[in-house]
Amino acid sequence: MSTINMQQLKKSYQDTEVIHGINIDIEEGEFIVLVGPSGCGKSTLLRMVAGLESITSGEVKIDDKVVNDLEPKDRGISMVFQNYALYPHMTVYDNMAYGLKLMKMPKDEIDKRVQDVAKLLQIQDYLQRRPSKLSGGQRQRVAMGRAIVRDPKVFLFDEPLSNLDAKLRVQMRMQIKTLQQKLAVTTIYVTHDQVEAMTMADRLVVLNNGIAAQIGTPMEIYDDPKDQFVAGFIGSPAMNFLDCEVCDESIKIGQQSIATPTHVTQRGKIVLGIRPEHFNQSVSDLQGTVQMIEKLGSNVLLYLKMENSEQPVVIQCDGQLDAKIGAVYPFSFNTEKLYFFDTNTQQRIY
């Protein structure tokens, strides 16, 4: 169990700065997920903690000790890579034992640890096989085993599930989370998949262009996003954004309008955000043309075209809904769940 502190972490390649000063304090045993679109710097940040990437300025502390200049092996971390990075010429056993051998641990101690971890992950049966003879899910577990067997202070995961098929991914997601709770090791987990982020994290760090856009528990971020980027990135299907104009009596969305909520005091152009699950179908002060229908079984996603907006509005409806493409569909917002963002700064106003 360890704490990790990042203070004003920056990273530049030659003259381009890719990480612009990040502050995160991670508590003992916490499961932190770094999430963001590709190229936002989340892997770079993780690799800086791992020691695989140099730190341009700022500090990384593990257990209150600055580790900026320590080799990866001396930081007490272990890492699981996206493509597993198992040594192809070694058996599963040797893959897991390699790090321990380099620590000059006695043979019987190594054997005991490897067997224990193999039992924990249920990979005892393939200890003598080569990684190339294993399926994706098995390789994934071996990679985890190699990380666990070192008994690290910190686990680092770099998109470990993105090479697995959808079903296995859900399974492994659960396994990783339960395992982490059992071992209570502080964990940083990188992913671009926001479902993974929401389900696994104790706290989320949403990264955008090398800046921590928001840090908080999954529900905090879902309920109370700080800006338009976070609001759009977290939640599936993604939040709808509509350009509108706020007047004294009503908010105009193209030709249509809704009553202005009392707490909205700013006037003029503004961006309105509403999640697909926050629509009312009983009342109908707005309408749109059905453009596309996605049937997901438990519910149906309707893509509605409103005049004056390029992006269709996505509404999540009951699974029994019967709609036809081209039909006009009436709907209304759940006014308590509206978000408002500044057009220029994209910061949330209300």
Partner 1 sequence: MIENRPMATFVSHTVLILGVALIVFPIWVMVVAASHDALRLTQVPLPLLPGNQFWINLKLLFSGKGFSAPIHLTLLNSLAMALMISVGKIVISIISAFAIVYFKFRFRMFFFWMIFLTLMLPVEVRILPTYEVIANFGMLDTYAGLSIPLIASATATFMFRQTFMTIPDELMEASRIDGASPMRFFFDVVIPMSRTNIAALFVILFIFGWNQYLWPLLVTTDPDMYTVVMSIKQMLESGESEPMWHLIMMTALVAMLPPILVVIFMQKIFVKGLTDSEK
Evaluate whether 232 touches 239 at the Cβ level (below 8 Å). Answer: yes
Q: How far is the CB of 83 from partner 1 (least distance, A)?
A: 6
**Dist. CA 94–CA 108, nearest whole Å:** 14
Phi, psi of 25 (to 5 degrees): -115, 120
Q: How far is the CB of 62 from partner 1 (least distance, A)?
A: 14
Considering the complex, what minimum distance in angstroms separates the CB of residue 254 from partner 1?
50
For 257-288, b/e burial (b = at least 16 CB within 10 A) is bbebeeeeeeeeebbbbbbbbbbeeeeeebeb
User: What's the angle, vertex CA 152, arms to CA 150 and CA 156, rounded to 5?
Assistant: 105
Transcribe 175-243 into DSSP letters: HHHHHHHHHT-EEEEEES-HHHHHHH-SEEEEEETTEEEEEE-HHHHHHS-SBHHHHHHSSSSPPEEEE
Closest contact distance (angstroms) between CB of 330 and partner 1 is 53
Binding-site ranges for partner 1 (CB under 8 A): 50-52, 71-73, 77-79, 81-83, 85-89, 98-99, 102-103, 132, 146, 150
Closest to partner 1 by CB, 89 vs 119, is 89
CB 148 within 8 A of CB 117: yes
Of the pair 12, 83, the CB lying nearest partner 1 is at: 83
- Nearer of residues 117 and 215 to partner 1, judged by Cβ: 117
Residue 215 C-beta: closest distance to partner 1, Å: 26
Which lies closer to partner 1 via its Cβ, residue 150 or residue 348? 150
The dihedral region occupied by 297, where left means phi > 0, alpha psi between -120 and 50, and beta the remainder, is left
In whole angstroms, the minimum distance from the beta carbon of 340 to partner 1 comes to 44
Q: Is 347 helix (H, G, I), strand (E, B) or coil?
A: strand
State the minimum distance, in angstroms, from the CB of residue 282 to partner 1.
54
Q: Which is nearer to partner 1, 13 or 87 (CB)?
A: 87
Closest distance of CB 89 from partner 1, Å: 4
Task: Identify which of residues 88 and 297 has a Cβ nearer to partner 1 in the complex.
Answer: 88
φ and ψ of 226, to 5 deg = -80, -35
Q: Report the residue number, 106 or 268, with the smaller CB distance to partner 1.
A: 106
Pick the closest to residue 238 from 309, 336, 291, 315 (CA basis). Answer: 315
- Tokens 């707490």, located at residue: 263
Closest to partner 1 by CB, 56 vs 287, is 56
For residue 34, the cross-strand partners are: 190, 205
Q: How far apart are CA 278 and CA 225, in angstroms?
A: 15
